[in-house]
Amino acid sequence: MIFYFSGTGNTKWAAARLAAATHEDLISIAPYMRADDSSHNIAEPFILKENERLGFVFPVHGWRVPRLVREFIRKMKITSDATTEGNKKMVRKHPFAYCVCTAGDSIGLTIENLNDTIALNASLQALGITEVSASYSLIMPESYVGLPFMDVDPKEREVRKKSKSAQELAVICEEIFDRKEGVNRLVKGPIPWFFTKVVGGFFENVLITDKRFHVEKDKCVKCGICANVCPVGDIKGGHGEYPEWLHHKDCLTCFTCYHHCPHHAIEFGNQTQKKGQYFYK
């Protein structure tokens, strides 16, 4: 079972490759966290099959696990379909749990942030999962454009990153298939505690907001793509309508709406003017 969240597609690509390699179910987290999607109920427990691996695949936001993913892990319920002999449950080793995170550069203490979140979930603890047994980071093309000095990667660097990450992911898939424990292949970067604790806190408290997003109406063709791709349903609109951000505090500032706009009609304050766009193709 693989739980994943993806905005611009880097993580969805990695999660799909993992699902193909392990032959295990791929489950998108976002629908379970949307108030407007009654077809997904997080209150219902997920059933982990016998010998099934448990994976968490997500992008790094501000050197941390995205808020939406942390909230999902805290709230989710998961049980095992362990067989029973009479009234006695058969004892098995705890499930193999792992994570793969994608980032444009470094991840800081993202895995420690993840393990702290796992420790808050009683159903995971009941399965013997107190932390991930293996963790990996993949450096992917940059998509964060919310600060003056940050932009998408030049095309040549984007291609190099994709090629290298594909090779690394092939190895990761093999190790996860083999349930290789104790692997921590991570690009934490310099002074990881500072970026996760201090800079990450600034990201969450100040930079994660939909209030700076706006549409340039002279460029917008009212195609509705931005509303359709928003993973948290924070944009009202559709074909024939200008987009309107709902300000319901679920926005992750993942820039999925910005990157998918075919006419570059969406801006984030004045930070994104003349900047590039990227989503995984």
Spatial distance between the Cα atoms of 198 and 118, rounded to a whole number of angstroms: 22
CA–CA–CA angle 212, 218, 224 (5° rounding): 70
pLDDT per residue as tens digits for the range 83-100: 444 445 554 578 999 999
Task: Provide the pLDDT confidence category of residue 82 given band limits of 50, 70 and 90.
Answer: low
| Region 149-173 average pLDDT | 97
| Structural domains in the chain, sorted by start | 2-204 (3.40.50.360), 212-281 (3.30.70.20)
pLDDT per residue as tens digits for the range 57-79: 999 999 999 999 999 999 999 99
Task: Provide the pLDDT confidence category of residue 41 given band limits of 50, 70 and 90.
Answer: confident
pLDDT for 34: 77
Task: Tell me phi and psi for residue 72, to 5 degrees.
Answer: -65, -45
pTM for this model (two decimals): 0.92
Is residue 232 within 8 A of residue 251, CB to CB? The reply is yes
